[in-house]
Structure 1
Amino acid sequence: MYWNKRKVLVTGGASFIGSHLVDLLVESGARVRVADDFSSGKRENLAAHVKAKSVEVLETDLLRTENCEKAVRGMQTVFHLAALHGGRGYVDLHQALCAQNFAMDGTVFKAAREGGVEKVVFASSGCVYPNYLQTDVSQELYLTESMVGPPYDADNLYGWAKLMSELTLRAYHQDFGMKSASLRFFTVYGRRGHENHAVIAMIAKAFVKMDPYPVWGTGEQIRNWTHVRDIVRGMALAGEKIEDGTAVNLGSMERIRVIECAREVLRYTKHKAEIRLEPDKPVGPLNRVADNAMARRLLGWEPQVKFMDGLHDTIDWYFSAKDRAAVKKVLQEKLTER
């Protein structure tokens, strides 16, 4: 197997997505190091691996050059997921913090090249796509990778930082020959998710029995929620197969309206509540769905988890893992913070 005994760094490896990637890499026999500042990542996500001594953990700030140099030392592949990031409320309301991601990405990339890392796999985002393409919910739109180009119109400073880092990695391959790949994640959900992301937020509101039950926006916003297991499987495949800095969508092509998700959460949890639409809340682009043809062609990848199946599994996890009083106490803050 490709990953067996391969030395791999996962930045942000204690996070929601990062910890699932660590699970997959350890299972595949990789020698994994995690670099995380634990500002949003959770130690419990890595606890089993730490106990088994199958993962090395560095608690570190990757905005500092010397920390990046230490983190990449001796590594063959770097999966760079560390970021100042949250859901729609966070990226809309914390522009300056999200802008720091470009500085972090550049520092990690430079250290990787100078440290002799063979390949960098970067966690990019659907936020790189032009806002002006995503305004009409009546259009059956599927975003293809080639749609990212002049005139650029990324989604907030979070999206601009991701876009600039994609272009930086591509330049590193062209100028220095460093192997790389960028994966554009589309609206990831699943176990270990955070309440500042839409699916977990809707589940949490049902968990604490909010009535009326608030739904941000008109509910007509369209998304292609993609399960975290599918995302990390795509990342591992890109780590094996892409070398030239190509950016590839990782996203389902299921088109789901926010209101449809909300209604299913209420139905499945048996929470009878009046839905209250909140059009003044941050909603982001109205029509964001990936075309995943390139991932199918280059990686042999396509999503395996249907949205409703994944949603039910995520609800089951949340309801069994969380304490209602504790969630109720902090939920309003968690909707927009890390």
Structure 2
Amino acid sequence: MKTVITGGAGFIGSHLTEYLLKAGDSVTVLDDLSTGSLENLKESWDHAAFTFLEGSILDREAVRQVVSGSDRVFHLAAAVGVHLIVDHPLESLRTNIHGTEVVLDACLEAGADLLLASTSEIYGKNTSDRLSEDADRILGSPLKSRWTYAAAKGIDEAFAHAYWREYGLQVSIVRLFNTVGPRQTGRYGMVVPNLVGQALRGEPLTVHGDGQQTRCFSYVGDVIPAIVRIAEEPATRGLAVNLGGLQEISIIELAERTIKLLSSTSEITLVPYDQAYGTGYEDMRRRVPDNSLAGRLVHFKPTTTVDTIILRVAKAMLSTAPGEVHAGAIR
């Protein structure tokens, strides 16, 4: 099968690339390398069925040429990460909204199926017990840049659904909840690699707010096979499907477990939100996925624990930057 992955040089995209190459696909990655890295693709680079093209999803002709002749597209390219969204809201909006429309048009013209990667961010401040796919979206003011990503990804989903309903484009949507694993960087505010990196370097672990906000972290190795099964399952067309972890944990507890597991001497420092992100930043207190739809449709059942995720992220960091961290940190 001929597959295109936008954003394939990113954390999730590079793992997806490897998975599909092993499954026998020919894979073309389109990435502008703004947040992705060629280093992430080193395991795929010499594969005979792999092609890399540097380019932006805002470049309509480039996207059209890449998608032409393909069977399916996994659209992962997006402006992501809290720091990037807060610092560059206009660039993020353009990439996430206009870029997705360009990809949708290219898929429609080529007759290619589309898997759109969305996010749990679209639920906003909804703190329901478990968020199902039809849960209400509760967003803050559109004038606060914290919510521009959530708003843009919601529009992406609406676009994709409209292309399915009005044009018959075969579209499926996945909403990812805090996916974590090797190759994820803390550069853009991703909490697990940030905490692990700080613990390995013996630096204070910075936790924003009071640390009592809770999340469910999912391992990339659990999520990637489910993404592919959703893309291949006809019953998911026109639907959004949650993919998240099962273990709810507060950020302060995540920091404590990171220190313990890595035998770190670091302490924990609480950092106010306005100091970390500027005045007016808002966060959500709780975000827990309801994975039952994914369980019914593609038998999704995440198994990797938070402790295992921490250890695997640390092992990957030690292997790629041994001179910058304490080599004896993992027992």
Distance in 2 separating the partners of 1:147 and 1:239:
22
1:43 deviates by 1.0
Name the structure 2 match of 1:146. Answer: 134
Within a 5 Å distance, the mapping from 1:223-302 to structure 2 comes to 223-242=215-234, 243-280=236-273, 281-282=276-277, 284-302=283-301
Give CA deviations for 1:99-121 in whole Å, capped at 9, x if unaligned: 1210100111011101221x100
Name which of 172, 181, 197 aligns with 1:181. Answer: 172
1:16 and 2:4 correspond: no
1:94 deviates by 2.9
- Structure 1 residues 244, 209: closer, same or farther in 2, change over 3 A? same
1:97 deviates by 2.2
Whether contact under 8 Å (1:49, 1:55) holds in the other structure is yes
Distance in 1 separating the partners of 2:263 and 2:4:
42
Name which of 120, 123, 131 aligns with 1:129. Answer: 123
1:66 deviates by 0.4
* Aligned amino acid, residue 21 of structure 1: L
1:324 deviates by 4.6
1:82 and 2:74 correspond: no
Aligned residues: 312
Name the structure 2 match of 1:41. Answer: 36
Distance in 2 separating the partners of 1:229 and 1:48:
16
Within a 5 Å distance, the mapping from 1:70-219 to structure 2 comes to 70-86=65-81, 88-100=82-94, 101-117=96-112, 119-131=113-125, 133-134=126-127, 141-148=129-136, 156-195=147-186, 196-210=189-203, 212-219=204-211
Stretches of structure 1 that go unaligned for 5 or more consecutive residues are 1-5, 135-139, 328-338
Distance in 2 separating the partners of 1:326 and 1:253:
30
1:301 deviates by 1.0
- Structure 1 residues 65, 193: closer, same or farther in 2, change over 3 A? same
Name the structure 2 match of 1:331. Answer: none
Whether contact under 8 Å (2:196, 2:310) holds in the other structure is no
TM-score (norm 2): 0.89
Name the structure 1 match of 2:50. Answer: 55
Distance in 2 separating the partners of 1:292 and 1:84:
25
Distance in 2 separating the partners of 1:275 and 1:311:
16
Name the structure 2 match of 1:309. Answer: 308
Whether contact under 8 Å (2:244, 2:291) holds in the other structure is yes
Q: CA RMSD in A?
A: 2.0
Distance in 1 separating the partners of 2:136 and 2:64:
31
Distance in 2 separating the partners of 1:326 and 1:214:
17
Distance in 1 separating the partners of 2:224 and 2:250:
24
Question: Residue 145 of structure 1 aligns to a residue in which SS?
Answer: coil
Stretches of structure 2 that go unaligned for 5 or more consecutive residues are 327-331
Please list every run of at least 4 consecutive aligned residues from structure 1 whose deviation after the TM superposition is greater than 3 angstroms. 151-155, 323-327
Q: What's the % identity of the aligned pairs?
A: 29
TM-score (norm 1): 0.87
1:72 deviates by 0.3
1:53 deviates by 2.1
Give CA deviations for 1:32-88 in whole Å, capped at 9, x if unaligned: 1111111121112222322132311111111011011011011011000011112x3
| Most deviating of 274-283 and 253-262 | 274-283
Distance in 2 separating the partners of 1:147 and 1:213:
33
* Aligned amino acid, residue 92 of structure 1: V
Distance in 2 separating the partners of 1:167 and 1:41:
26
Give CA deviations for 1:238-279 in whole Å, capped at 9, x if unaligned: 111045220000001211110111011111222223311112
Whether contact under 8 Å (2:123, 2:136) holds in the other structure is yes
Distance in 2 separating the partners of 1:31 and 1:304:
29
Compare relative contact order (CA 8 Å, sep 6+) and give the higher one, 1 or 2: 1
1:323 deviates by 4.5
Name the structure 1 match of 2:60. Answer: 65
Whether contact under 8 Å (1:207, 1:324) holds in the other structure is no
Question: Residue 222 of structure 2 aligns to a residue in which SS?
Answer: helix
* Aligned amino acid, residue 161 of structure 1: A
Distance in 2 separating the partners of 1:47 and 1:317:
14
Distance in 1 separating the partners of 2:323 and 2:288:
33
